[in-house]
Structure 1
Amino acid sequence: MARGYNKLTALKVTRLNKPGRYSDGGNLYLQVSSRGGKSWLFRVETQRIRRWMGLGSVRTVSLEQARALAAAARLSVLQGIDPLEQRQQERLRRRGDPCESPDFDVCAAAYIAQHAPAWRNAKHRQQWENTLKTYASPIIGALKIKYVDTALILQVLQPIWTVRSETASRLRGRLERILAWAKVQGYRDGDNPARWRGHLQELLPRSDALKTVKHHSALPHTEIATFWTALRAQTTAAARAMQLTILTACRTSEVLGARWQEFDWDNQVWTIPAERMKLKRPHRVPLVPAMQGILERQQGLHPLLVFPGERAGRPLSNMAMLMLLRRLGRADLTVHGFRSTFRDWAAELTDYPSEVVEMALAHKVGSKVEHAYRRTDFFARRRQLLDDWAGYCTARPVVFDVGRG
């Protein structure tokens, strides 16, 4: 049976030369660097976060001494004391430095508050907040910023580095700037673990050199009923927003920005104003029964917004629907892709004219001359189209009337 502790020997420590980490047991490791240097590491696991605590070089700390230091660190953890925090506090006391290091989330919020006034618009601030909340906060948000190291930065970046390369690259830059700000504030010292040049570029592939990874961003229409069943089991506002997005074939921003004043319940019409449309033209959406049922469940939550978010006066973030896709195990999809699902369904399984389908998608149809002479937006046909689509999504039996297409 393999030993849980004291796996290494003094002779083995001398002979090990291949780069890597070698366990002695009890979270004590011998680390051999690519240049042959050897040092002792203790793995600290607190608040479900894994960090590494250096115990010194093999040249100055023997195997027995490293085991004693590891035992002391393990005892601290059992007593609910963070050994890294304990060591840092001792260093601060020796230096007479009263400066406390706040959590990463606190520093991130302070950085954003100081710099947001110079940013282009509120959306830029929201992008900062959303990416940090989604990818960084779950891993390092509650951790004191002075303890954020390269290993933790990699834990944040690696899961999305090759699949969401643009987002990951922007996130890395934001982490670097927050950590640099913290150093200037005196909350941490040493090199910036999120810097690219001469550091992360040795550990991660260049984002601009990554091959495009092809994902099924649009769900095949044959799978929409199964997906709808899973989506209907969710009871959150994000789930209802996604349901309405799918049924209306609208863009994400058009649904999340919906106002109650845009709805004409007597005529069962939702009119999206020009300023919220991509083509800067008003768009009328026929409200079929399946859509009305979703909207009824949102009534009374906010006097103006159909899908209010956590921040007062702001709608639900589009990140809420992306996170919902993750929870459903469909991170390979995008919300915008459901418009393609709708378009493929209409083309393959119905006989509705292309211009009716394109108008349902709020696309520009025909030339300027054709547009000038057209006196209809095919509203009645689009109502039938969207009702058939709702039936297909919800697995309701649908009989297509070819003549009406």
Structure 2
Amino acid sequence: MASNILTDNFVNSNKTAPGRYADGDGLYLLVKPSGSKSWVLRMQSALVNNGKRMDYGLGSTKKISLQDVRALASQYRAWLAQGKSPKGEIEKLKKNPIPTFKEAATARHASLSKTLKNAKHATQWLTTLKRYAFPIIGDMKVSDIEIEHIEDVLRPIWFEKPETALKVKQRIGDVMDMAHLRRQRATELPVRKIGKLLGSQTKARQHKYREHFPSLFYEDMPQLLSRLNSAEETIGRLGLMFQILTAVRTGELRFARWSEINGDVWTIPGLRMKEGLEHKVYLSTAALDVLDRVKAFQIRSLDDLIFVGLKNGPISNGTLSKVLRLGSAGLRVKFGPVATVHGNRGTFRTWVQEQCPDVKEAVAELALSHKQSNAVIAAYNHAEFEDWRRDLMERWGTFVMQSTDNVRSIAV
């Protein structure tokens, strides 16, 4: 049977003669002699009303559009197929309004938080949805969300951030499963099968684990810092030095704010962290000295930024990369021809592994804000290894800022 026969122009026309006009699958436009127009759905199910044919009024065309009434009719058909009375279901919905995805996810998170043992995991569960799902489907009713909407959420990160995409997919699926169980939507949403639409992540995940950012040999890092120290002082050079001394990601450095510094602790909000969780950086004597030198510039931005770039905004990636490229000229680089700012984190990690055998792996990983997968390590995280981490960063600062003989002067 043909469906979607009617058009918006026909429905809204003032010249439509009185009568009943079929859109297909039992949906009709009813035009009365007075000119008033309304929607009627004629359905029959052996499971409802003893198999009698029923006409369901779906409202005036002034209140519900052609597109929306088709969706509503589809909902009615699904209820009938399940042996449910549409009128009864509508009454239930009036008592239990259909939530938006944002509302459903927040409620689900509140429920899960009571059972999850790891508080950080509980926080991260909602943060990933806030970052990736809410901007696209957050304000949609859970009853209106279809698989193509989930595809819109996941496609931008499916290959770029495969692990994150899988977590987001699982969490969206959990929210939508609960919506179905609570009768807030008529059908299940096959989120688990969406990989068939998006494609295999196998190659993307293999590439991720093979990928290394070009970085300096840690033996050459003191020479780079000595060059930066001996050159004319700029916000760009100080910014790169601070990134090296703290081993943070570029984005975390660029948007660092003075209000986040408390003594020798820099607390980075979860919204700026890759894992979505608040992260503490313990500042070495050398890192605190860099901040004092930045203060000497007496530059203040409206956003309280520490490293201010052009137009009073954050320092750019390009500036940091240029300072590193010029400062590291002639120094040894692995995994590529030119060192990258992000690669400085790898340099730090290699130095810890090879020069600090007494440092626990968990301490080094937590210093880099890497997720801890080992259950034993996770248990230690309550103390955050504060003393060990402070000691590690102080040792790193002492190492990279040590005096280097025969430092070749270079314009950086």
| TM range, smaller chain | 0.3 to 0.5
With CA pairs under 8 Å and 6+ residues apart, which has the higher RCO, 1 or 2?
A: 2
TM-score, normalised on structure 1? Answer: 0.46
